[in-house]
Structure 1
Amino acid sequence: MWELAYALELRVQLPHVDLPGFAGGEVHPGVALPSEPTAAAQELRRQWGLGEGPVTHLVRRMESHGIVVVLPAEADAAASTVDAFSSRSACPLVILTRNRANDVYRHRFTAARELGHLVLHGDATGDSRQEREADAFAAEFLTPQASIQPLLPRRMDLTYLADLRRTWGVSVHSLVYRCRELGLISDATASRTYQRLRALDGQPGFAPEPVSSYTGEQPTLLARAFDLAVQETGLNMRDLAQQLAWTPARVRELLGMPDTRPVLRLV
């Protein structure tokens, strides 16, 4: 993906990387953001001008700040246990997958976790401590304590939480965890609530919502860069594939562009 982004950037100026600490192809943890996950999330929200409310169109917003985000069209059996991957070796890159669940709320939380990894850990191999830090970053980034705590119930009301998930773009499971994390409910209450959620799985208000229904959560940066390069520089798919030493089909796949040719079916 970095090779593809680099090939396109030779022809089109991609959005400026607006990630604190990122300069000259490297990110230096702790230089521009606090190293503590919650404080880092609060500061990044401030620097990106997100205010105190929900973060709308998270993936598109990450792209507008120069982070290359990729969502392959299909799940990858070779990496079936992987939700996402991020790297900043040359440019900030987040690859989301469809391997574990096609649910926009999980998808958004995963994207926020990878954002946390980018600003806190870089390319370090993720251990359990770093995973917990990325979770804490994502929770504060998507649902800041100062804003969400007054809205969270002290007695579990799943119908209310289902409405709240649509407003804030996080799962009911995440909201229950946030209630427990902030000391609003006990561990026993949280455990009983998770059991009730499992029983409600698939019911209206509790069913997964596909990412395809939310355009702002689907990456478009590289595909739009290719379209602009076609318009302004005369680039075509064959030339780009030749430069990369890939097949045109592989380029289309990584750009998220479906093959529009009619399919011949032999009966």
Structure 2
Amino acid sequence: MRTDQPTLPGVEAGRTTPRKISEGFSPARLTQARHLAGMTKKDVAERIGVSPAAVGQYETGSSKPRPEVIPRLAEVLDVPMPFFLGGRPMGKLDVSRAHFRALRSTSGAQRDRALGFAGQVWELTYALEKRVQLPIVDLPGFAGGEVHPGTELPSEPAAAAQALRRHWGLGDGPVRHLVRQMEVRGIVVVAPAPDESASKVDAFASAGLPRPLAVLTPNRSDDVFRHRFSGAHELGHLVLHASATGDSQQEREADAFAAEFLTPRASILPLLPRRLDLGQLAGLSRTWGVSVHSLVYRCRELGLISDATASRAYQRLRGLQAEPGFEPEPVSGFPGEQPVMLRQAYELAEKDTGLSVSELARELAWKPARVRELLGMPDSRPILRLV
């Protein structure tokens, strides 16, 4: 067991006191905890018995909560009391550096929760990277990349996708295990549980942290093909867009990147039917790991079918979506499309240094359940079933 981890400010011999936490209070940590809880300042104020103005002052740093307020804050926001201490690395991400798939339909509170989640993912990554050497970042154009950091990809989406495929040595065929390909290149990929706050937001990515991050939220149909397209879409944002404008043009560019990355024009065009054939497209769907819907779109995009034909095909697909060959394939059936880098890093640190979830939780000032959640580890507690 490691014993050389630094002691958090306000923590003496493993013991914290509200008074010391008040002295070492971090306004940014309160904001992060509130965002993660999906609460407004007024919500917090009502629950802890102070005014909304007081909570605002806590978050600006113009005043600190009194010691007796600290336990109430921790209980209301569902964090350990030491969470509010400063002095440890914090992942802070501005909305301008995060690309949300459906920005217009995403509320400010939802974005704040998602950004808080992304910050915690970075903090966990940072803690693990102190113990385990993670894959180096190999993403041309990413400022923190360690492989050819000065290399830039073309700005045109399809050309950028072709260049990245060449850079990663993927050839001209189907991309096997997209999520694993991203992780091997040092990109942190996480897939929140369906009830996690970040899962309420459509997939998003950020290049605003020391490592590129892609959050692939569960889609409503639990479809591995949609999951893969979301991954390629977020990859497109990472290589094409240094900042997020939230406009539809960036979303179209990321979609164009994803289509070319997963189904390169030169490879897929000879295989696509000249007359629409949904059965043939279903076969190609399995081979290339993309949905039939996206292949119909690709046919229209490449000029093989008209807009009217594509519209009729989408209508027919809605009627076929529960039929064999057309029904969604759960992501759980495809290990290569499920993130594993952070969990495997923890397991390696556990084996090599004796790291435990409890120790990691103390270092991060999180609850152990939060650590297990972000590592994608099942809850090991026995389940009580009442009959």
Q: 1:73 matched to which residue of 2?
A: 193
Q: In the alignment, which of 88, 94, 99 is matched to residue 207 of structure 2? A: 88
Which deviations, in whole Å up to 9, do the C-alpha atoms of 1:190-236 show, x marking residues without a partner? 11111111111110011000000000000000000000001111111
Cα separation, partners in 2 of 1:217 and 1:178, compared to 1, 3 Å = same
TM-score, structure 2 normalization = 0.66
SS of the aligned residue for 1:22 comes to coil
Which deviations, in whole Å up to 9, do the C-alpha atoms of 1:154-185 show, x marking residues without a partner? 11111111111000000000000000000001
Q: Which runs of 5+ in 2 are unaligned?
A: 1-120
Q: In the alignment, which of 140, 143, 151 is matched to residue 271 of structure 2? A: 151
Q: Distance in 1 between matches of 2:145 and 2:154?
A: 20
Q: Which runs of 5+ in 1 are unaligned?
A: none
Partner amino acid for 1:257? M
Q: Does 1:242 align with 2:362?
A: yes
Q: Does 1:201 align with 2:346?
A: no
What is the identity percentage for the equivalent residue pairs of Structure 1 and Structure 2?
73
Q: Distance in 1 between matches of 2:219 and 2:176?
A: 24
* Aligned positions, number: 266
Q: Aligned-pair RMSD on alpha carbons? A: 2.0
Which deviations, in whole Å up to 9, do the C-alpha atoms of 1:33-62 show, x marking residues without a partner? 001100000000000000000000000110
- Cα deviation for residue 74 of structure 1 reads 1.8
Q: Distance in 2 between matches of 1:25 and 1:51?
A: 22
Paired residues for 1:79-228 under 5 Å: 80=200, 82-89=201-208, 90-228=210-348
Q: Judge conservation of contact 1:83–1:100 (CA < 8 Å) in 2.
A: no
TM-score, structure 1 normalization = 0.95
Q: 2:129 matched to which residue of 1?
A: 9
SS of the aligned residue for 1:183 comes to coil
Q: Distance in 2 between matches of 1:226 and 1:122?
A: 30
Q: Distance in 2 between matches of 1:54 and 1:195?
A: 27
- Structure 1 window deviating more from structure 2 (87-96 vs 170-179): it is 87-96
Q: Judge conservation of contact 2:140–2:150 (CA < 8 Å) in 1.
A: no
Q: Distance in 2 between matches of 1:24 and 1:117?
A: 15
Structure showing greater relative contact order (alpha-carbon pairs closer than 8 Å, 6 or more residues apart) = 1
Cα separation, partners in 2 of 1:141 and 1:30, compared to 1, 3 Å = farther
- Cα deviation for residue 126 of structure 1 reads 2.8
- Pair member with larger Rg: 2
The structure 1 segments of at least 4 consecutive aligned residues displaced by more than 2 Å after TM superposition are 22-26, 75-80
